[in-house]
Amino acid sequence: MARKIYIFDTTLRDGEQAPRCSMNLAEKLEVARQLEKLGVDIMEAGFPAASPGDAAAVREIARTVKNVRVAALARALEKDIDTAWEAIRKAESPRIHTFIATSPIHMEYKLRMAPEQVIEAAAAAVRYAKHYCSDVEFSAEDASRSEPDFLCRIFSAAIDAGATVINIPDTVGYAIPEEFARLVAHIKANTPNIDRAMISVHCHNDLGLAVANSLAALRAGADQVECTVNGLGERAGNAALEEIVMALRTRRDFFDLATGLDTAQIFSTSRLVSKVTGVSVQINKAIVGENAFAHEAGIHQHGVLANRQTYEIMTPESIGLPQNSLVLGKHSGRHAFEERLKYLGFALDSARIDELFAQFKILADKKKTVTDRDIEALARGASGTIPETYKLERFAVQSGTQLAATCTIRLARKDGSVYEKAAVGDGPVDAAFKAIDEIVGRTLELEDFRLSSVTSGEDAQGEATVKVKFEGRTWNGHGVSTDILEASIKAYLAAINTMEWEMAVYE
């Protein structure tokens, strides 16, 4: 029987730490629910000591998910461990994950501690965490540049103090697969009490080897692999969850290792993370890229038509990618629309389906055909969980090469009041955003603004993603429409509505 590998997903912590990848509370909850649906074993919900907002998000995730172990990161400091426990104490299965650096360069220049002091600090942190929580993970930061025998000593001390998992991170992506496998094997063979703990690995992608290093470590005896959806993470990112899982599944004959994930949820999970972070998946990305199952060369197309296995080593369905798009139109009924939503992986309540079906009918009147990608964009366009403090009623724009762009916006507030303002800007989008700022009474900093086409063709929907900043905090917004200006306005309002909701609930 294949050996079980535990998937430790750190998208909400390490992935979210990546520049321009921050998520607000509602988005973190949405991703957490999807990760639970995907079936990850452990979900690192965040680093509570980093900020009050991070602590609040971890606390809500711990209360929400029930079938996944929830971990919180903490430095080897009592105050960090206190904050981590306070955030995850309501979880069904909590884990405290504490760490300290172990490489000579980190100990000398960052910690300014002698090796013996580092061992004492690690053991003390694990003992302190153990008072709160039976499941404690200890990580040796920058392990791949640490002395192997020193790692054995510190891991032994951590296990004696109560660690249930010891983690070997390739923090800066320095390792080479054969070298990293040898390090795992050395630790397994030379840590006297290693049988009392699970061995984990956490690889970064600075040399493009994160997945290769992770797989080599698993073959060498590691039990848990830490990874992120779409490979998000600091600098060049982390090992990509989808690549590791599908490599183990596709080449089970070679690895003889298995995970408990529902791989049919991979595609929808990837799309969700891309949507909430605003980070597009590269077109040729393994497993979840747009071209991963696309064939243009004639010889490839001929082979696939004869037998898909000629050029596909896994099926699109195995990751939840619909093989054929069902085209819906303006004459399609609610039942067909609801069934398509279910097929695409959306479990929505009746009220939300009614709302989306009304939007679908409007879209069907504008487009000749409505594809799966269009339906997915509608469903992803707004989570449906954030109350609309402001709702777009109408807009009008004037713009031209010899004419300053002017936009008039009319918004309705949830209290029933209606406001209308006009503004001049550097283009219609800028004018629209300035008019909205006047109505809302806040001057927001636009950190990021992106437009993309959902499908091809002149009648394709445009999808807008914005990231706004106010008083040091950021919020994301998304909008879709066949009119790119309308999509941009919807995305801006979505970010504002999330901001207003979070400020009202948590402040």
Express each pLDDT in 228-274 by its tens digit: 999 999 999 999 999 999 999 999 999 999 999 999 999 999 989 98
What pLDDT shows up at residue 299?
Answer: 61
Residue 268 lies in a domain: yes
Residue 309 lies in a domain: no
What pLDDT shows up at residue 325?
Answer: 47
Residue 306 lies in a domain: no
CA atoms within 13 A on the CB side of 283: 3
Q: How far apart are CA 216 and CA 177, in angstroms?
A: 6
**Do 163 and 254 sit in the same domain of this protein?**
yes
Please tell me which residue, 263 or 343, carries the higher pLDDT value.
263
**Do 36 and 150 sit in the same domain of this protein?**
yes
Residue 464 lies in a domain: yes
Beta-strand pair 462-470/3-4: unpaired
What pLDDT shows up at residue 3?
Answer: 97
What pLDDT shows up at residue 472?
Answer: 81
Helices (H), 10-114: 25-38, 52-64, 78-88, 104-106
What pLDDT shows up at residue 321?
Answer: 78
Q: How far apart are CA 41 and CA 7, in angstroms?
A: 5
pLDDT at position 457 over 70: no
Please tell me which residue, 399 or 74, carries the higher pLDDT value.
74
pLDDT at position 172 over 80: yes
Spell out the SS3 assignment of 138-174: EEEECHHHCCHHHHHHHHHHHHHHCCCEEEEEECCCC
DSSP string, 278-347: T-PPPTT-TTTSTTTT---SHHHHHHHHH-GGGT-SS-GGGGT--SSPPPB-TT--HHHHHHHHHHTT--
**Do 413 and 492 sit in the same domain of this protein?**
yes
Q: Which residues lie across from 202 on neighbouring strands?
A: 169, 226
How much of the chain exceeds pLDDT 90, in percent? 62
Q: Domain limits at 360?
A: 324-381
**Do 136 and 252 sit in the same domain of this protein?**
yes
The arithmetic mean of pLDDT across residues 409-427, rounded, is 93
Residue 299 lies in a domain: no
The count of other CB atoms within 10 Å of the CB of residue 341 is 21
What pLDDT shows up at residue 373?
Answer: 73
The total domain count for the chain is 3
**Do 470 and 376 sit in the same domain of this protein?**
no
What pLDDT shows up at residue 507?
Answer: 57
332 pLDDT band, cuts 50/70/90, is: confident
Q: How far apart are CA 85 and CA 90, in angstroms?
A: 9
The arithmetic mean of pLDDT across residues 476-497, rounded, is 89
Give residues with Cβ within 8 angstroms of 471, minimum separation 6: none
The count of other CB atoms within 10 Å of the CB of residue 372 is 18
DSSP string, 109-139: III---HHHHHHHHHHHHHHHHHH-S-EEEE
What pLDDT shows up at residue 358?
Answer: 85
What pLDDT shows up at residue 324?
Answer: 47
Classify the phi-psi angles of 204: left when phi > 0, otherwise alpha if psi is within -120 to 50, otherwise beta.
beta
What pLDDT shows up at residue 13?
Answer: 96
**Do 355 and 458 sit in the same domain of this protein?**
no
Closest CA to 383 of 9, 31, 10: 31
Q: Which two tokens stand for residue 495?
A: 């970010």
pLDDT at position 382 over 70: no
For residue 436, the domain's CATH number is 3.30.160.270
What pLDDT shows up at residue 127?
Answer: 98
Residue 372 lies in a domain: yes
The arithmetic mean of pLDDT across residues 438-458, rounded, is 84
Work out whether the CA dihedral 295, 301, 303, 307 comes out positive or negative.
Answer: positive
Is residue 97 within 8 Å of residue 56, measured between CB atoms? no
pLDDT at position 310 over 80: no
C-alpha separations of 389 from 301, 464, 494 in Å: 50, 20, 9
Residue 200 lies in a domain: yes
Is residue 87 within 8 Å of residue 61, measured between CB atoms? no
Please tell me which residue, 16 or 222, carries the higher pLDDT value.
222
Express each pLDDT in 463-477 by its tens digit: 888 889 888 888 888
Express each pLDDT in 43-61 by its tens digit: 999 999 998 889 999 999 9
pLDDT at position 182 over 50: yes
Residue 300 lies in a domain: no
**Do 132 and 258 sit in the same domain of this protein?**
yes
**Do 234 and 344 sit in the same domain of this protein?**
no
Query: Which of 252-261, 329-338, 379-388 shows the lowest mean pLDDT across its residues?
Result: 379-388
Q: Which two tokens stand for residue 347?
A: 């479990």
Please tell me which residue, 352 or 398, carries the higher pLDDT value.
398
pLDDT at position 496 over 90: yes
Side chain identity at residue 127, one-letter code:
R
**Do 141 and 216 sit in the same domain of this protein?**
yes
Q: Which two tokens stand for residue 78?
A: 């009592």
pLDDT at position 159 over 80: yes
Most confidently predicted of 361-375, 395-409, 473-487: 395-409
Q: How far apart are CA 249 and CA 243, in angstroms?
A: 10
**Do 59 and 146 sit in the same domain of this protein?**
yes
For residue 95, the domain's CATH number is 3.20.20.70
DSSP string, 373-406: HHHHHHHHH--S-S--SEEEEEEEEEEETTEEEE
**Do 331 and 272 sit in the same domain of this protein?**
no
- Token match 């971990």: residue? 71
pLDDT at position 432 over 60: yes
**Do 236 and 343 sit in the same domain of this protein?**
no
Is residue 37 within 8 Å of residue 71, measured between CB atoms? no
Whether the full predicted model's pTM is greater than 0.85, yes or no, is no
Mean pLDDT of the chain, nearest integer: 89
